[in-house]
Structure 1
Amino acid sequence: MKRVGVLIIFLLPFLTVGCAGHYNIPMVDVTATPPDIVQKIPLNAAILITDQMENYTFTGQANESSIYGTYTFPFGQMIKKNVFTILSPAFNKAVIVKGKPYPQDIDVIIVPKVEKFQHWYSGAGAFTSTVVAKISIKLAVYDMKGALVWEGIISSPKVEKIYSTPITGDFLGATGGAAAESVVAALQEAAKVMTSSREIHTFVSTKGVSETIASKPSGKELPIIKADVDKPFFGVTDKILGDNDMAVVIGVEKYQDLPASDYSSSDAKLIKEYLVSLGVKERNIELLLNERATQSSIKKTVETWLPNRIKSDSKVVIYYSGHGAPDTKNGDAYIVPFDGDPNYLEDTGYPLKRLYDKLGKLQVAEVIVLLDSCFSGAGGRSVLAKGARPLVMMADVSVLSSNMAVLSATQGTQISSSSPEKGHGIFTYYFL
């Protein structure tokens, strides 16, 4: 599935076109049968249902076989409904968890993730049609110290359901049924694969269940699960950017004299990875992190490095994650560099108006500005001069050129912040 948030940014001409509906697929009960297990695993397992798995969003493309529109599938409910029947025969014990704290008697954490989901028409008639679903689930098994024991991708067969064409409810019900049966089929196969896994049985014999349990009272973090956006996975056909496209990526997490902006540095690195995956050459990306993102460096990069490298057909991406601040005298918004001081913004900050002005003068095809920051001084990723009050910031869109689009984490007095659970800035996480 394509990262829809990223692709929309570069398809600005299509943003004015009407879009298909968003459908919540109902939970459909499916009778699951226990799989044939050859050798039971003597472990207590907890299945961690992540946000990505709980409510999975699928977007169909406009082609003759795909089902156009956006659909949310309750995969979390489907797993919870059937996991005990399917996995209890494979382990001593199987329980569902949403997160920490984990039960004290658990030996391993199993984390399922949607690797690929397909949903399409098999045939359409005047009165009845067939909907098809197929799912590939990536399962990772971690010990209680966070070490990976085993991982694998399990795919279901194609599951078909017939529905009455004129009735929307029939279509949604058939879709839910096909999805639920595909999830059950994948879990049944996963149970067989895990019980025959050499890695899991080696873990049991060499590590020992007693050693794993004995380690629990130590209070160590268990386990660190990466967010579902932590690695771009675009195919060759998804490379929508090219040799002449440019990017300036700035992330300031650790400041010279200010509180940290959590995850800004790692988010900037991840944005660079995504841009490279989408086709931007590494030589065309200037990455400024922490102490490298001084006021002079930002100014030099935006106002000299970038204009000297662009072409007329270039697409330019500017990303900033870090603190913002308002000038309490005139309300102007500033990016706060590594060496910035909110008490002396005119001397140490970089004004957004100046950024927009310099970018607007570039003779390029498109300019996209992404700001994971806030500029009101109300908290979060915003700082304020000592003794000053937060401002209501109003975006001045009149300074933007016709080929420029700006996506910002906040407006007005809103606060931009980070999520310890996701390990990212909120804006960056949902953008990716």
Structure 2
Amino acid sequence: MLHAVIVGINAYRDRAIPPLSCARSDAQALSGLLRTRIRSGEHNVTLLEDEQATRRNIMATIGDELPAVVEENDTVLLYFACHGSPERRASRDRRSLYLIPHDTEFQKIYATAIDMERDVPCWLERLAGAGARLVVLVLDACFSGAAGGRTFMGPVLESSPALPGYLDLDDPEPMSLKGLDLGRGQAILSASDGDQVAMESPALGHGIFTYHLLKALTRARDGARTVHLGVLYAEVCDAVRGATNERQEPVLSTRLRNARLPCLSGAISA
């Protein structure tokens, strides 16, 4: 079974947090692919958009509800398309990094956002304890605090049309996950390095990272039913670097053993 929690946030309750353009369409595209390309009964996909994607709902969905339904050897995919933000702690040489839910308060990021150091490891521990064999966290967000992408500076910190054809009715029948060895371990795949911006492309209707991630996941691979996570990363990294003149480079952090994701081929044209 593949369990997925997909989060996409364009609009924020606090007007001090700038809106995004393509995060919701990124989340919709990925959730749509998983729901239509994997056989019914073999996936459990939850999509949280804008007002649904509050800190409480995200924490409850991932920390409470998901561990209750995960069974031994299941795979979990967590995906976020949203703002990230850094914030300086009391120590002047250390920054906290946050994912920004819909209801984050700009002046109270510590209390109202998702702490990458505190909350995310807890998710991974709870899911592993529930029996998940493989957990992959994908972040189309960044934490540089620079202008122009999926990030903003926290208050304490100093100084082409949308993808065609991915839900085409003529696409192949949904695939079965039965018998697939997806490996084991935990991985975090981020859209950019720590000092870079994760960029959106209104012309594509998507974040640049997610656009190329979807293309890589849906690329035909001579009948292969899975793609190794290292291969997927290399393809996405090369494509994103090329599309941004090397201003954005995805990062993969792993503790894995032969980890793979299902191929969802035939879904997106080149």
- Shorter-chain TM-score: which interval? 0.5 to 0.7
Structure 1 residue 342 displacement after superposition: 3.6
Q: How many residues align?
A: 178
Tell me the amino acid that sits aligned with residue 251 of structure 1: G
Aligned to 1:302, which of 41, 52, 62? 62
Within-5 A mapping of 1:175-186: none
**CA pair 301-322 structure 1, distance change in 2 beyond 3 A:** same
* Higher Rg of the two aligned structures: 1
**Whole-Å separation in 2 of the counterparts to 1:412 and 1:385:** 15
- Cα offsets for 1:261-282 (capped at 9, x unmatched): 1111111011101112331658
Q: Pick from 390, 393, 409: which aligns with 2:191?
A: 409
Please tell me the residue identity of whatever aligns with 1:405: A
Runs of 4+ in 1 over 2 A off after TM superposition: 280-283, 385-390
**1:331 counterpart = 2:95:** yes
Instruction: Find the aligned partners of 2:209 and 2:132 in 1 and give their Cα distance.
Output: 26
Distance 1:331 1:324, change over 3 A: same
Distance 1:317 1:324 in 2: 19
Aligned-residue identity in percent: 32
Whether the 8 Å contact between 1:377 and 1:389 is mirrored in structure 2 is: no
Q: 2:2 is matched with which residue?
A: 245
- Specify the code of the residue in structure 2 equivalent to 1:293: A
1:383 match: secondary structure: coil
Checking the alignment, whether the CA contact within 8 Å between 2:63 and 2:126 is kept in structure 1 is no
Please state if 1:344 is matched with 2:108.
yes
| AA in 1 matched with 2:122 | D
Matched with 1:270 is 29
The residue that corresponds to 1:429 in the other structure is 211
**1:72-97 deviations in whole A, cap 9, x for unaligned?**
xxxxxxxxxxxxxxxxxxxxxxxxxx
* Unmatched runs of 5 consecutive residues or more in structure 2: 160-183, 215-270
The letter of the residue matching 2:35 is V
Q: Structure 1 residues 263, 378: closer, same or farther in 2, change over 3 A?
A: same
Q: What code does the residue aligned with 1:425 have?
A: G
Seen in structure 2, the aligned counterparts of structure 1 residues 328 and 301 have a Cα distance that, compared at 3 Å, is same
Amino acid at match of 2:152: V
CA contact (8 A) 1:247 1:318 kept: yes
Contact 2:76/2:135 (8 A) holds in 1: yes
- State the shift of 1:247 in Å: 0.4
The residue aligned with 2:132 is 364
TM-score calculated relative to the size of structure 2: 0.62
- Verify the 8 A CA contact 2:87 2:157 in the aligned structure 1: no
Q: Give the gaps of 5 or more residues in structure 1.
A: 1-243, 391-401
Q: CA deviation at 1:376?
A: 1.8
Superposition deviation, residue 387 in structure 1: 6.1
* RMSD, matched Cα: 1.8
1:213-250: per-residue Cα shift (whole Å, max 9, x none)?
xxxxxxxxxxxxxxxxxxxxxxxxxxxxxxx2200000
The one of 154, 158, 166 equivalent to 1:385 is 154
**Which residue type is aligned with residue 288 of structure 1?**
L
Q: Distance in 1 between matches of 2:120 and 2:62?
A: 8
Using the TM superposition, give the Cα deviation of residue 288 of structure 1 relative to its aligned residue in structure 2, in angstroms: 0.5
